[in-house]
Structure 1
Amino acid sequence: MREAVDYLPRRAASLVYDALEDTRVVVVNGARQVGKSTLAERVLRHVPGSVARFLDDPVTRLAAHEDPVRFVSHDGLMLIDEVQRVPDLWLAIKHVVDRDPRPGRFLLTGSARLLALRSLPDSLPGRSETIELWPLSQGEIDGHEDGFIDAAFAMGEDLRAESIGLRRKDYLALAARGGYPEAVKRTTPRRRERFFDGYLADLIARDVKQVAEIERASDMRRLVALLAAQTGGLLNMSRLASELGLSSPTVRSYVEILETIFVVRLVPGWSSNATTRAVATPKVIFVDPGMAGYLTSGSVADATHGGLLENFVLSEMTKQLTWADTSARLYHYRDRDQYEVDGVLENNAGEIVAIEVKAAETIRADDFRGLRLLKRRLGDRMLAGFVLYCGPQSLSFGDGLSCLPVSALWTTRSPAQAPLSGDQ
């Protein structure tokens, strides 16, 4: 079995172990090169009698094509890596787990949102659980707690964080580095640019074609660059279509492809009966802010930097949502009166924690404009509103509103959190 070098423990490991205890098929889904195979292999070390099948090997892939039923025949846990490469395996797996419903039969990895692929013959409702693996979080990279979301809902306006001495340039450097393990290991911006250049070319040449047929790959490359330039902004299909010389339906289908292969994520607009003037248009963020930083590296505009930092914060929160004890969803808020809030977290009880991101080292009263509006309209339903900024202080601004350093996202401990162990 292949050995990972410089392995960083992943919080998703505990989710995989838990799912294998009671679920027949566990799928680890995520972007290419985020560490899915490495994580899956380490899980197998703790399961006696398990076997691994890697579909990037041509001979293994041919065997899966020729005899999928025999390929998946095994009494213990079987790892099938990059399972979307052989869609016929899906029905064979379904047949096996329907006849033998023991938990922990298959651990699958894939570099696309598997249930969105048209090539799959059937889904596995009630038989499978999907765990999304994102690029490394800052807490995973630096060994911090990554517990902001749980703490924010548990503590509300009382949440405070210690400064770790980071400033604006430091946060922008972290955002530009991103979280792909290979990019994190590279020590200079130039070497990371080489990684992102090859990574993007490979995605368009291989992964896009796996999901759908497109006439011109150059159109997809230009679309990715345009989306990076407006990261953190509302998704304007008509504007993108005009700039690309394509129809709006075509651009929409291309954006859906980029979502399917984990390049971008759409953050839906949030509204409630108390905020009837809200705009429903989603905003777009990159799954990894390093990719957005690479695509906009020629720009030094403050607006671009602000969008990059917002993408960084929202992607860190999205990662945390995959393992947080708090069941919550991430939205953004904007209304027709130009009030906006970058991130709105809503739990199952309808309680709200709102986040505004500022790429500055100081705070102004106007930075709380959107948060104060939501607080007036939602009252006690809004537990807290935070401005995350590039300065060092945690301060109260009254009425449940506070400022915190951006690093609070990963240095805050969840009230019930256990530290990462070496095998996770």
Structure 2
Amino acid sequence: MPAVEIHGPNGVGKTATARRRAATVLALDDPADRELVLADRSYPTRVAAPVLIDEWQRVPDVWDIVRRDVDARSERGRYLLTGSAVPTGVSLHSGAGRIVGLRMRPLSLAERAVEEPAVSLAGLLNGSSDIGGTTVIGLATYIEEIVASGFPDIRADAPRARALRLDGYLDAVAQREFAEQGLRVRRPQVLRGWLAAFAAATSTTASYNSILMAATPGESDKPAKTTTIAYRDVLQSLWLLDEVDAWLPTRNDFARLGQAPKHQLADPALAARLLGVDAAGLCSGAQGRASDLRPGTLLGALFEHLVTLSVRVYAAAADASVHHLRTTNGDHEVDLVVQLPDGRVLAIEVKLADRVADGDVRHLTWLRSQIGDELVDAVVVTTGRHAYRRSDGIAVVPAALLGP
């Protein structure tokens, strides 16, 4: 590609990854580099390629500089742009066809190397029926991975240091990054409460109004709905929300499907910290605040979050998108629907258990009856030890054994 823009939340590894591929680095959060580019707009076009322009949103004009240079020459692989926020108050010309955007997410389970994957998501999407493999990974490891974080630098720390750094990360969002995005928060404790309520709604489609009510229990002076919408918009611009959109196929032979997104933050460890729950708490069944926002347990919601994060990383590598399915009356739900560009789908249920009963696959068999051959495969992701295929054709795969 002539130019690739890597976006994602702070600390996810964008700069470290891009630096490995760059001959020239312009760090626009460095005043010296920023002044150089502002003084000489053509400078990035003259230096040795590949050129990494880090935190490009600090000088939004860089977008047009790169776009025009891509138009002016046919050189491939010249620019890497990285950014942890979408510029606010700035009108950018579309980079369509010139600048390709890629989202970098926190580390998936496969990237964390907790186990060697035995089942490929890309293979399942391509019709592979091979299912097999055994792992020693159990529930305790998944709980540790939930709280350890997929942010590469943070996860390397000891548990107490990780917790302090995640708290500092969230404090920086509320106290500094919101202001940098043009929204000064008068009452940071209200924002923190809203974030905690949002975390409590992890892996649900709870309404934003119910999240707002849960954020301020017993308070008469609640923030206006417009305020919480502004919170959501800024978090999206910082790539800290990673909600799963509803699957809305073009075919019309379905009963009505829900359109609400499923709520998730960028990393399940952020949700756990916002709720004040550590590995020991999750092991003992702690539910955190606002537990009435979700129908199941907090551990189940966070395990689904961890699996979803991993599936989204694998799906992106396979040029597939990830959605969820829920009928409007709630009769049927499928946790994840991975869709290929041609419309075929892979359906995934996430189950916090080490074995699968017939009742656990009823939504998958229902979907298969609805769309037939458009369903390339159906999988239940578990905390179990063995990957296998049931007699009804549905695959059972431990989360640690699923990879790209």
Q: Which amino acid aligns with 1:328?
A: A
Offset at residue 195 of structure 1 (A): 1.4
Instruction: Give the percent of matched residue pairs that are identical in Structure 1 and Structure 2.
Output: 27
Q: 1:6-405 alignment to 2 at 5 Å?
A: 19=1, 23=2, 25-44=3-22, 50-65=23-38, 67-77=39-49, 78-113=51-86, 117-142=88-113, 144=116, 148-155=120-127, 158-186=129-157, 188-216=158-186, 217-244=188-215, 245-272=222-249, 273-298=252-277, 300-301=286-287, 303-324=297-318, 327-335=319-327, 336-405=329-398
Normalization by structure 1: what TM-score? Answer: 0.82
Q: Please identify, of 88-97 and 356-365, the stretch whose mean Cα deviation from structure 2 is larger.
A: 88-97
Q: CA deviation at 1:113?
A: 4.3
Structure 1 residues 362-386: Cα deviation after superposition (integer angstroms, max 9, x where no partner):
3222211211211121222212211
Q: Which runs of 5+ in 1 are unaligned?
A: 1-18, 45-49, 415-424
Q: Distance in 1 between matches of 2:402 and 2:372?
A: 24
| Aligned mates of 2:138, 2:261 — CA distance in 1 | 30
Structure 2 vs 1, CA of residues 221 and 161 (structure 1 numbering), >3 Å: closer, same or farther?
farther
2:109–2:310 Cα contact (<8 Å) kept: yes
Deviations 1:98-127 (A, max 9, x none): 43343333221111246xx43254332322
Amino acid at match of 2:299: H
Query: Aligned with 1:344: secondary structure?
Result: strand
1:249-286 CA-to-partner distances (Å, cap 9, x unmatched) read 43233222212212121111124423223211110112
Note the residue ranges of structure 2 that are not aligned, 5 or more in a row: 216-221, 288-295
Q: Does the 8 A contact of 2:197 with 2:212 survive in 1?
A: no
1:37-65 Cα shifts (integer Å, max 9, x gaps): 11111102xxxxx3211122222223334
* Structure 1 residues 170 and 223, CA gap change in structure 2 (3 angstroms): same
**Does the CA-based 8 Å contact 2:119-2:131 persist in structure 1?**
no
Q: Distance in 1 between matches of 2:261 and 2:59?
A: 33
Return the offset for 1:388.
0.9
Corresponding residue number in structure 2 for 1:417: none
Paired with 1:274 and 1:249, the residues of 2 have a C-alpha distance of 37
Stretch deviating more after TM superposition (337-346 or 306-315): 337-346
Distance 1:249 1:102, change over 3 A: same
Pair 1:215–1:171, CA change in 2 (3 A): closer
TM (norm. structure 2) is 0.86
CA drift of 1:231 comes to 0.6
2:174 partner amino acid: I
Task: Check whether the contact 2:117–2:401 (CA below 8 A) recurs between aligned residues.
Answer: no
Q: 1:148 to 1:221 in 2, by over 3 A?
A: farther
* Mapped contact 2:386–2:397 kept (Cα < 8 A): yes
Q: Which amino acid aligns with 1:30?
A: G
Offset of residue 294 of structure 1: 2.0
Equivalent pair of 1:163/1:407 in contact (CA under 8 Å): no
**Matched pairs, number:** 377
